[in-house]
Amino acid sequence: MTDASPPGGPPTVADGRSVRWVRHREERRASLVDSTIRAIRRHGAGVGMDDIAAEAATSKTVIYRHFEDRAGLYRAVVERVDQRVVGDVVAALQRSSTTGTNPRELISSTVDAYLALVESDTDLYRFVVNRPMVDRPLADDPVGATVGHVTEQLARLLEASSPEGDIGPATWRVRAVALVGAVQAVADEWLASPVRAPRDELVESLTELAWHGLAPVLLSQPDVATTAVEERR
């Protein structure tokens, strides 16, 4: 009877100590990300590495050992936020689709899920968007990946909710990109405003814009160019 070992040597058996070490490193990285997020919430989006090390009860050297540099730690935090944002948005979309909610409510749920994170975790959102720990351009933009995940989910469900079979996936993706981009831009302006409008008003405004578009609003007003000419006469 011949041994079923793969060519080139005996079968490789995972060393139990190696597996435990890998698991330990993953758990340690997760713990350091937890500490970083707590430090952000405690000290604000401009948190420093000293603050993070103190929150983690360790040294900056140990943190760099697990993440190589500040950009590596930033990526890990964004990945954690990505899981939360995408999870919240997907949950909202799934609730809308499984309960037979109309497409307008689906859009509203998406907008609200995103803005809820911005409102409830403002400093963490600013940390992710403003990148205070990153002093160089990142080839792999982690924020872009998060936006892409949300856009993909939204485009898929909008397409599924539409009775218009002549609109292809590419067109729905463009519309989803436009909606997500609008929500991002409004969220940034909302945070910068000294007096914030209530979130539900913002959700309604963005939903109306996405649902009806600008044309019905603009066409109900006097033509701006014509009015300006008449005023100069």
Tens digit of each residue's pLDDT, the chain (233 residues): 444 445 555 555 556 777 777 788 889 999 999 999 999 999 999 999 999 999 999 999 999 999 989 989 999 999 898 888 878 877 777 776 666 667 788 788 888 888 988 899 999 999 988 888 887 777 777 777 778 888 888 888 777 777 666 677 888 888 888 988 999 899 999 988 888 999 999 999 999 988 887 566 555 555 443 444 354 45
Question: What stretches of 121-212 show up as alpha helix (H) in DSSP?
Answer: 122-130, 142-161, 169-192, 199-212
Apex CA 143: angle with CA 193 and CA 60, to 5°? 95
Question: How far apart are alpha carbons 145 and 110 in whole angstroms?
Answer: 17
Half-sphere exposure of 73 toward its Cβ, with a 13 Å CA cutoff?
31
Question: How far apart are alpha carbons 161 and 156 in whole angstroms?
Answer: 9
Residue 14: φ, ψ to 5°? -60, 130
